[in-house]
Structure 1
Amino acid sequence: MNDKPIIGFIGLGLMGHGIAKNICKGGYEMWIRDPFNRASVESLLSMGAHEAVSPKDMAEKCDVIQICLPSSQHVESVVRGDDGIIAGARSGLIVIDASTADPGSTANLAIELSEKGARLVDAPLGRTPKEAEEGKLDAMVGCDMELLEIVRPIIECWAGSITHVGPLGSGHKMKLLMNFIGMSYGALFSEAVVLGAKVGISPNVIREVIGPSRMGNGFFDTFMRYVVDRDRDAHKFTIANAAKDLRYVTSMAAEAQVVSIMASAARHYYAHVEAIGRATDFVPMLSDHVGALNGLNLAETVR
């Protein structure tokens, strides 16, 4: 592989655009693809990137392909499809999957790619679209150390910290544990602010007391910026993604034969919001839906 491998990037959503932008800024030739985020495609093209006609086309042109998509189903589609990565893969190709994915799917895709001489790295992300644009995301990497050193310069373009979690699949497992904690916070905080409001303690007071205490954290801060300040953009992570991640968590727990009462309980709140057609709401908005389940208009309560 040359000092500056040719990079492909699939998935230019809230996180992907910033990651791809910073790889471009690192001086790499880049081919991009995203049929659903045209504005992001145009933004990257203006920085010198090229547009691939398909994942197969990208695989034929690139040395490394990074994927940043909403789910394992989307990843499997771009890897396995008739015009997918495997169809154009050649020996030496490296695929970096930065999606939050099902570790079982990751293992299967790695086997299928290896049959074409390609290798898979899982490198899911921590933090927010703001850090994606700044090149300061956290990367949780699953692969062997030799492969990590090959891809490290690419990941360093967009990550402020890189943690080698373990072998292939470990990054995706760690990311699911992280999101299990985060989405459970979302359910817990929603229930707490609604219970508080019902017994006469406003969300404003809850933020004032909990925020500076040992129980405060970054997730609490952005969550309460929505609940109290009604800042819709405080934490831009959708209910749909939260529900999907908790489904992966409970599946991972079932595979490991682990009792998962907390994850299952949290998942039901997000599944309810999906079921009523509000899956595109952001996670802090779960508080409004938990309020409605209890006959409470949380926005009016805050006012």
Structure 2
Amino acid sequence: MSATKESVGFIGVGLMGQGMAQSLLNKGFALTVMGHRNRKPVEELVAAGATEAKTPKELAQRASIIFLCVTGSAQVEAVVNGPDGIAAGAKPGTVIVDCSTSDPGSTVRIAAELEARGLHLADAPLGGTPAQAALGQLSAMVGATPEVFARIKPACEAWAQKVVHLGPVGDGHKMKLLNNFLSMGYAAIYAEALTLAQKIGITPQTFDSVLRGSRMDCGFYQTFMQYVLERDRNAHKFTLVNALKDVRYLESVANAAGVPNPIGNAVKNSFASAVAAGKGEDYVPMLSDFVAAQSGVALGKTG
């Protein structure tokens, strides 16, 4: 039972974080949470047995492992190093686990700063959907020292069915950006292909009848098309503005490595166009509607 002796903190109980935090409670971890704008997830978690902290510093005083599930590097830096931040309240040996999709350069720098203060950082970005988070069925790609990985693995396994140790701090975020380049790249390609199909008389239904079950089918295709065919807004709840952030992070990694990424640039511009047009809070499959509208066609059910 030693695995449950770590007290856990969780900052960012949004679309993904609420399900992850609930899974930790379900597995018997003592949990302290901190909310942001939306009170409902916090109140539901407190009703289920969590304790609420008002500041990251207060939360850090109660937890030996702290999960962050926030937007990106800017928010991570603010939560860790800001006034009343985690670093101000954490006891030596505390592990901060960044589950956000962050810039690896920032991750490595923050980790070095924390190590100098006797604190540890691991990056454990997520694979999966909010529905999978609630079921404890996410995947985690972890960058950490072997010692830190061994400590955080039981807590990660509360919300993930697959936990992979990739290497040192930063490797999780590097791999996550590569993963999201593939998924957001597919989204941009699907949107363009569906638009062209509609324009030349191939409906989304006909398109899907050929693709589904073929070698080009995959889980991402299925949730994307669940929106296109059924107009299910909740099929994949990941916003266009967050997708754009991730492909911009990928671009900065490519720039730092001196690697050209022309396809990544094209993917970024597909999302940037939609966000610039005010569609940032739409979800990723809804990129298809924006791209279609640019060519004067509609993909949704008619009549």
Bin for the TM-score computed over the shorter chain: over 0.9
- In 2: Cα distance, 1:2 partner to 1:284 partner: 39
**TM-score when scaled to structure 2?**
0.97
1:23 and 2:24 aligned: yes
Matches within 5 A, 1:31-46: 31-46=32-47
Query: What amino acid maps onto 1:88 in structure 2?
Result: G
- The question of whether the paired residues in 1 share the 8 Å contact of 2:243 and 2:271 is answered with yes
Other-structure match for 1:161 = 162
Counterpart Cα distance in 1 of 2:294 and 2:202: 18
2:34 is the counterpart of 1:54: no
2:112 corresponds in structure 1 to 111
* Counterpart in the other structure of 2:12: 11
* Per-residue deviation, residues 49-82 of structure 1 (Å, max 9, x unmatched): 1111200111122111110011111111101101
Structure 1: distance between partners of 2:3 and 2:217: 47
Once the two structures are TM-superposed, the CA of residue 89 in structure 1 deviates from its matched residue by: 2.3
Tell me how many residue pairs correspond in the alignment. 302
Q: Deviations over 1:144-177 (max 9, x none)?
A: 2221111111111111011111111001111111
User: Deviation at 1:8?
Assistant: 0.7
Aligned residue number for residue 273 of structure 1 = 274
Identity of aligned residues (%): 46
Deviation of 1:30 (Å): 1.2
Partner residue, 1:91: 92
Matched, 1:81 2:82: yes
For 1:282 and 1:135, how far apart are their aligned partners in 2? Answer: 22
Q: Which deviations, in whole Å up to 9, do the C-alpha atoms of 1:4-47 show, x marking residues without a partner?
A: 11111000011100111111112121111012121100011011
User: What is the SS of the residue equivalent to 2:155?
Assistant: helix
SS in 2 for 1:276: helix
- Give the CA RMSD over aligned residues: 1.3
Give the distance between the partners of 2:64 and 2:230, measured in 1 at CA: 46
Distance in 1 separating the partners of 2:25 and 2:227: 33
Task: Classify the secondary structure of the residue corresponding to 2:96.
Answer: strand
Alpha-carbon contact 1:89-1:116 (below 8 Å) kept:
no
Shift in Å, 1:297: 2.3
Name stretches of at least 5 consecutive residues in structure 2 with no aligned partner.
none
CA distance in 2, matches of 1:231, 1:157: 29
Partners of 2:147 and 2:116 lie apart in 1 by 20
In 2: Cα distance, 1:297 partner to 1:150 partner: 51
What does residue 69 of structure 1 align with? 70
Question: What do residues 238-259 of structure 1 show as CA deviations (whole Å, max 9, x unaligned)?
Answer: 1011100000011111111111
Q: Paired residue for 1:121?
A: 122
Matched, 1:250 2:240: no
**Amino acid paired to 1:17:** Q
The Cα offsets for residues 221-254 of structure 1, whole Å up to 9 and x where unpaired, read as 1111111221111111110111000000111111
Distance in 2 between residues matched to 1:254 and 1:34, nearest whole Å = 35
Q: Mapping of 1:221-232 within 5 angstroms?
A: 221-232=222-233
Q: What is the DSSP-based 3-state SS (H/G/I as helix, E as strand, rest coil) of the residue aligned with 2:300?
A: helix
Partner of 1:61, secondary structure, is: coil
Structure-1 residue corresponding to 2:202: 201
Deviation at 1:2, TM superposition (A): 8.1
| Displacement after TM superposition at 1:3 (Å) | 5.4
Aligned match of 2:235: 234
1:157-214 deviations in Å (ceiling 9; x for gaps): 1110111111110011111111000000000000000011111111111100011110
- In the TM superposition, what is the alpha-carbon distance from 1:112 to its structure 2 partner? 1.8
Task: Give me the TM-score of the superposition, normalised by structure 1.
Answer: 0.97
Amino acid at match of 1:106: T
| Range with bigger deviation, 184-193 or 69-78 | 69-78
For residues 68 and 3 of structure 1, the distance between their equivalents in structure 2, rounded to whole angstroms, comes to 21
**Could you tell me which residue of structure 2 aligns to residue 138 of structure 1?**
139
CA displacement at 1:99 relative to structure 2:
0.6
Aligned-pair distance for 1:298? 2.3
Mapped contact 1:93–1:118 kept (Cα < 8 A): yes
Using the alignment, how far apart are the partners of 2:85 and 2:66 within structure 1? 12
Cα shift readout 1:264-302 (whole Å, capped 9, x = no counterpart): 1011111111111110001111011101111212226x6
Match of 1:152 in 2: 153
Q: CA deviation at 1:88?
A: 1.4
